[in-house]
Amino acid sequence: MTSETACPVCGLSFIPSDKSQCPQCDSELTCFRVLDSFPDEPVRKNTGSRKQAILLIIASLVLGLISVMSAYQLYLLKQLENRILERKTSFINAGPDDGLKHFVIDQPGPRTNGAAGNKDILETKEDIKGQSGLIKPSEKVDIGTGLAEDSRFWTYWATEKDTLWDISQKHYGLGDYYPVLLEHNCHLGIYDIGDGIQIKILKNTAIARDIYKKITEKKGDSIYWYYTVAEGDTLRSVAGKFYKTKNMIKLITDLNQELDLMSGQRIKILLK
């Protein structure tokens, strides 16, 4: 059966297949017939490949995001660990000479006597090593007016279960040093520690040891502490601070024969 061809140039149809040229425009038809004899190339289906590529990209992004978040969390944990380690190191390895020069025994309570203003005990390292005598009862302290730097102290908030002995044992390494806590916190009493009470604690245990030797005296099995009278103190309030009952006033007066209970005065207190 004779097939017919259409001219792709001028559009003439029904050209017999034995004609090699278009009767209307004389265009060569042989090449067009050869091209028409080739089968059409099937359309490639890339839908599956595209989906796989998209899923791969999404998975890569998710994994990358997880990696970044994990790295950031590790960085934060490392920073926190370093800060905790630095605080522990500074507390444990504090040099024995830190703060001994021009050290002040600072008490937060008012210590005024008329126009004299606040009087703090200012001691140098040489004073601590050179003075052999203890502060005697009824002796008024007037050794300077410097102020202790806050950087010398930790701030501790007590709980209901705390005792001065336990706090001293934890921070100074020895429970016997609890008079040093009393020295720096005039608002405290031996039996008056409650939840939320703020306590100043020396960072340097060597200083705490030197102060303890300075403000206490041991005779036989008894230990005495030289307490600095605060403004507003009475024999009854002082007895209430350091003994379970306030009827121990006679013990205080027996130990301090020349007692006038003036602000800044050192009086002898039996601890045990």
Alpha helices in 38-124 (DSSP H): 47-92
Burial 237-271 (b: 16+ CB within 10 A, else e): ebbbbbbeeeebeeebeeebeebeeebbbbbbbbb
Predicted local confidence at residue 161, as pLDDT: 86
Q: Give the pLDDT score at 267.
A: 86
Q: Can you give the pLDDT at residue 228?
A: 86
Tell me the CA distances in angstroms from 180 to 30, 98, 102, 226, 249, one per residue in order. 116, 17, 17, 11, 23
pLDDT of residue 178: 87
pLDDT of residue 108: 44
Q: What is the mean pLDDT of each run of 10 residues along the chain (272 residues)?
A: 70 77 78 71 63 90 92 89 76 48 41 39 39 40 40 87 89 88 84 83 91 88 86 84 78 83 85 78
Of 142, 145, 104, nearest to 123 by C-alpha is 104
Closest C-alpha among 249, 226, 263 to residue 115: 263
Each domain of the chain, given as residue ranges in start order, spans 12-36, 103-270
pLDDT at 40: 63
Question: How far is the C-alpha of 137 from the C-alpha of 118, rounded, in Å?
Answer: 20
pLDDT by residue (tens digit) across 204-256? 989 999 999 988 888 888 888 888 888 888 888 888 888 877 678 888 888 88
